[in-house]
Structure 1
Amino acid sequence: MALPIQTRLPLPAGFLDDLRALMGDRLSLKPADLDQHGRGENWHPSMPPDVIAFADTTAEVSALVRLAAGAGVAVVAFGAGTSLEGHTAAIRGGLCIDLSRMDRIRSVRPEDMDCTVEAGVTRKQLNTHLRDTGLFFPVDPGADATLGGMAATRASGTSAVRYGTMRENVLSLTVVLPDGSIVRTASRARKSAAGYDLTRLFVGSEGTLGIITEVTLRLQGIPEATLAAVCAFPDVRSAVTTASEVIQCGIAVARMEFVNTSALAAVNAFGGFDHAESPTLFFEFTGSAAAVREQADLTGDLAAANGGADFRWADSPEERTRLWHARHDFHYALMAQRPGARIWGTDVCVPISALTDCILFAEEIAAGVPFPTAAIGHVGDGNFHTAYLIDPASAEELALAEALSEKIARRAIALDGTCTGEHGVGYGKAKFMREEFGDPALALMRLLKRAVDPQDLFNPGKVLPPV
């Protein structure tokens, strides 16, 4: 893949001294730290910053940004580093502001079913804190990502079919703008008709318009009962047809995950499972005990009508945990097939009626490639992922993986879908923005970026393709 072309300029004279005066010993120039902060969890090579500052407060982030703006230094925000499309790469070098120390839970309001947390709080940390309230935060991207990073990338995951993405679950944000000013985007009211929707402007902006330092979130009640199940199907079409029918019948499934044959074979080998190695759906139902059983029975009938077999149910926490391990271990199971390799992962999202077409296309073009491949999907909302286990030192394998992912992205866009349902754009998918949105919409995005960040200092080279 051609890396984004940006000029890496040396830090201005005196900038480090000014940083030290502000931050004391909460700076790092260690090569290992810089390398870690310049990469995510995908194959993308590290593009390290010149210096890392570990911020403690919103006011401190503001002071850092004002210092960088005055010196014309690029700024990249960093949370847990779990992104997949090069979001944290410091393409122009500069300053990385690490928000992981901002990990305080400001307040939980059970009567309003919401909470306010600093950007460095992780989703698991929040749910551990909430365990005695009867509430939980439902958005689960898999990784234990920071909530600020999840808001910045509009994260979702396995539970989005029931609870939505970060877009639906963020009530308000505190954001530091590129000039250092601090804004709160909304109140805690569950709805408002006042002014522009600033919250949605920053959710998904990937740090290009502002640095999120606090997040106010919707919470959900822990359901009375939970039941999980797994079902194998004779082919991809039967599995995806079942998923579509579950949604069309209005069954309130909490999770519905597709795993293809090669992915399940990898999981079986890695975890010692004995699931049938064929296209498979994983389900989770939540609610009252009676509602859960009704949902499960209806889904079982739909699955059986489409050839589903080997239906396995799990209602105890231990059984559910073991059942879902097969889905959650996917990344590590695939990695174990080729030690030393890296995963080129990509995702797209299409209308549910087009999902079978898109998944079959992805499997068809991957047939016969010289490296392991797999596909999984949050099929309840039309989102699926493909993964190619490549040797990052092989130019041929990199080129082939890029060509495959480009074909899938363009097929999704042609089906009135999107090049990314949840991974985000970063710089890895910026090249598809014009094709997906068209020139007028892209021009509007550029206008917003110039208005908010006229020096192009915040996460430069991300989201918008080069002019």
Structure 2
Amino acid sequence: MGLLSSALFVASSRTFLFRFLRRARPSFDGRALRSDAARDRSVAWSRVLLPLAVAASAGSALAFDLSRVSAPCLCDPGLESCVTRGDSSDRVVKGSRTEVIDEFIRELKDVLQDNMTVDYEERCFHGTPQNSYHRAVNVPDVIVFPRSQDDVHKIVVACNKYKVPIVPYGGATSVEGQTLAPHGGVCIDMSLMKGCLKIKSLNVEDMDVVVEPGVGWIELNEYLKPFGLFFPLDPGPGATIGGMCATRCSGSLAVRYGTMRDNVINLQVVLGNGEIIKTGSRARKSAAGYDLTRLLIGSEGTLGVITEVTLHLQKLPQHSVVAMCNFKTVREAADVAIATMHSGIQVSRVELLDEVQVKAINFANEKNLPELPTLMFEFIGTEAYAREQTLKVQKIVSDHNGSDFVYVEDANAKIEFWRVMDDRIFGKWEVYRVTSPNCKLGTGTCSGEHGIGTGKMKYLEEELGIGALRTMKRIKSVLDPNNIMNPGKLIPPHVCI
């Protein structure tokens, strides 16, 4: 859940700022087809310069050794994990690319009309994640903007017919290269799948809601607020429900409400072979069949495209208190988090920042917070209960040599507090969280909430074992027999069946 997460700041070298996309010849020579989902592509220079400035002030950076496999892979021909340019931390995912034929483009045009494009700038934008340092040698050949499940079904059927790779695309906030297109192909941008009113159905009494994948969690909670309900996962600004399911995201509230797998009741999915399935029902208590919902959650688009999601909701808390305290070491902060859990206190949020992240927050927001390992808590319930839990944790902090324990209850102060916390990860720089202070898989996980993508494949076998990876590969081979669904992601290329 990220309870003991140690934040490691990642800033790449000067190539993060100055490296631009490799230019490739468009695969279709016709006039670019413009989409009405075009968005503002400008990125403020301050957002690009800030990671470099903070990295310089921190004096450290993190680069994973993602060296290519030593022998040609007999399981996924044409795929190598990466190519490294020089001695920099610039990692580029390799992949084989086949030209898409005009007949395929015309079939998509018949289905989507103007909701597709082969415009080079649009393809480059979708093929170059803004929140990830991972890059690929290729970009998508075409971007499509489906409006319905039927559109998605026809797109997948066409791609399966011509064996064209598919890359599902949500809010593009993922950090592990999930939306890269190393093999080219079709990028399915789900931004138009929000429903006429963004919400397909809301069941207030049952506390569940049915949404399309393009709905963002922030706009969903704005919709739910008048009903006294909310969806308790908060991965960061810009994330959409479909992408949150695909990466099995969590957020700072996971310590109380669980992760995405604990809050999804049912999915509708178009599988790689074109078949449309639902994974469950709205029943809270069911032992009917395999748990296909949890199979699809966290599959990162490698098994199918999510087209509808039924979510479990929570009641908005009556009152909340946000607290912060400092420690001399990360270990002392982790000990307080453990002691708090063992005491029976039900916190709704626990976040751990090291001194580098606090320095970054100060730099980005002109704050003057003590640049020390910092724990943040949120307590919810009645006003009296939330304050009581706050004072209990204050005592625990004092017993573990913590200092500067402060808390706020004012609504505007709490909003500003969490805005700063969100900005530290998703707006200004890149952060990787490892769910153990000592960063060893024996006591944690290689990915607390950001998924695997291309960036963490190297570590998956150490955590799960080769038997589990072979099982995953067998499942994919059945549901996606032509390996068109987000190929080169999640399952390491050396895994054979």
TM-score (norm 2): 0.78
Distance 1:348 1:435 in 2: 15
1:69 alignment counterpart: 160
Residue 335 (structure 2) pairs with residue 245 (structure 1) = no
1:6, distance to aligned residue in structure 2 (A) = 2.5
1:424 alignment counterpart: 451
Residue 104 (structure 2) pairs with residue 15 (structure 1) = yes
Contact 2:247 2:300 in 1 (8 A): yes
Contact 2:237 2:422 in 1 (8 A): no
- Choose which of 164, 173, 186 in structure 1 pairs with 2:258: 164
1:320, distance to aligned residue in structure 2 (A) = 1.2
Residue 464 (structure 2) pairs with residue 448 (structure 1) = no
Contact 2:326 2:404 in 1 (8 A): yes
Percent pairwise identity: 42
- Choose which of 202, 205, 210 in structure 2 pairs with 1:108: 202
2:181 alignment counterpart: 90
1:334, distance to aligned residue in structure 2 (A) = 6.2
Distance 1:140 1:305 in 2: 31
Letter in 1 for 2:482: Q
Letter in 2 for 1:438: G
Residue 185 (structure 2) pairs with residue 99 (structure 1) = no
- Choose which of 139, 143, 149 in structure 1 pairs with 2:243: 149
- Choose which of 323, 326, 333 in structure 2 pairs with 1:229: 323
Contact 1:268 1:326 in 2 (8 A): no
Stretches of 4+ aligned residues off by more than 6 angstroms: none
1:13, distance to aligned residue in structure 2 (A) = 4.0
State the SS of the aligned residue for 1:206: coil
2:143 alignment counterpart: 52
Distance 1:71 1:4 in 2: 23
Distance 1:36 1:179 in 2: 28
Contact 1:119 1:146 in 2 (8 A): yes
Q: Which whole-Å deviations, capped at 9, do the CAs of 1:24-78 have from their partners, x for residues lacking one?
A: 1111111221112113211112542100110000011001111111111111111
Contact 2:218 2:237 in 1 (8 A): no
Residue 448 (structure 2) pairs with residue 459 (structure 1) = no
Distance 1:324 1:215 in 2: 27
Give 1:46-445 correspondences, 5 Å limit: 47-104=138-195, 105-331=199-425, 335=429, 343=430, 345-349=431-435, 355-356=436-437, 358=438, 408=439, 411=440, 413-415=441-443, 417-445=444-472
Contact 2:266 2:279 in 1 (8 A): yes
1:340 alignment counterpart: none
Q: Which whole-Å deviations, capped at 9, do the CAs of 1:226-279 have from their partners, x for residues lacking one?
A: 111111122222211111111111211111111111221221232222222211
Distance 1:224 1:263 in 2: 31
Distance 1:278 1:326 in 2: 17
Contact 2:212 2:308 in 1 (8 A): yes
Contact 1:246 1:302 in 2 (8 A): yes
Q: Which whole-Å deviations, capped at 9, do the CAs of 1:410-448 have from their partners, x for residues lacking one?
A: x2x233x22101110001111222222112111111110
Distance 1:333 1:91 in 2: 25
State the SS of the aligned residue for 2:311: strand
Q: Is 216-225 or 17-26 further displaced after alignment?
A: 17-26
Distance 1:346 1:74 in 2: 28
- Choose which of 118, 122, 131 in structure 2 pairs with 1:33: 122
1:142, distance to aligned residue in structure 2 (A) = 1.5
Letter in 1 for 2:151: E
Letter in 2 for 1:31: Y
Letter in 1 for 2:155: L
2:133 alignment counterpart: 43
Contact 1:273 1:326 in 2 (8 A): no
State the SS of the aligned residue for 1:426: coil
Q: Is 181-190 or 4-13 further displaced after alignment?
A: 4-13
Distance 1:201 1:126 in 2: 24
Distance 2:414 2:118 in 1: 44
Contact 2:248 2:261 in 1 (8 A): yes
Distance 2:171 2:419 in 1: 22
Aligned-residue Cα RMSD (Å) equals 1.5
Q: Which whole-Å deviations, capped at 9, do the CAs of 1:101-126 have from their partners, x for residues lacking one?
A: 00121011110000000000000110
Letter in 2 for 1:171: I
State the SS of the aligned residue for 1:253: coil
Q: Please, which runs of 5 or more residues in structure 2 have no aligned partner?
A: 1-65, 67-81, 83-91
Distance 2:192 2:201 in 1: 17
Distance 1:119 1:333 in 2: 22
**Distance of aligned partners of 1:107 and 1:50 in 2 relative to their CA distance in 1, 3 Å threshold:** same
Distance 2:244 2:141 in 1: 25
2:23 alignment counterpart: none
Distance 2:153 2:428 in 1: 42
**Distance of aligned partners of 1:96 and 1:159 in 2 relative to their CA distance in 1, 3 Å threshold:** same
Q: Which whole-Å deviations, capped at 9, do the CAs of 1:382-418 have from their partners, x for residues lacking one?
A: xxxxxxxxxxxxxxxxxxxxxxxxxx4xx2x233x22
Letter in 2 for 1:414: G
State the SS of the aligned residue for 1:174: strand
Letter in 1 for 2:477: R
Distance 2:417 2:481 in 1: 50
Q: Please, which runs of 5 or more residues in structure 1 have no aligned partner?
A: 336-342, 350-354, 359-407
State the SS of the aligned residue for 1:448: helix
Contact 1:418 1:436 in 2 (8 A): yes
TM-score (norm 1): 0.83
1:332, distance to aligned residue in structure 2 (A) = 7.2
State the SS of the aligned residue for 2:234: coil
1:187, distance to aligned residue in structure 2 (A) = 0.3
Letter in 2 for 1:194: A
Distance 1:261 1:434 in 2: 31
Contact 2:237 2:426 in 1 (8 A): no
1:91, distance to aligned residue in structure 2 (A) = 1.5
Letter in 1 for 2:491: L
Distance 1:99 1:445 in 2: 25
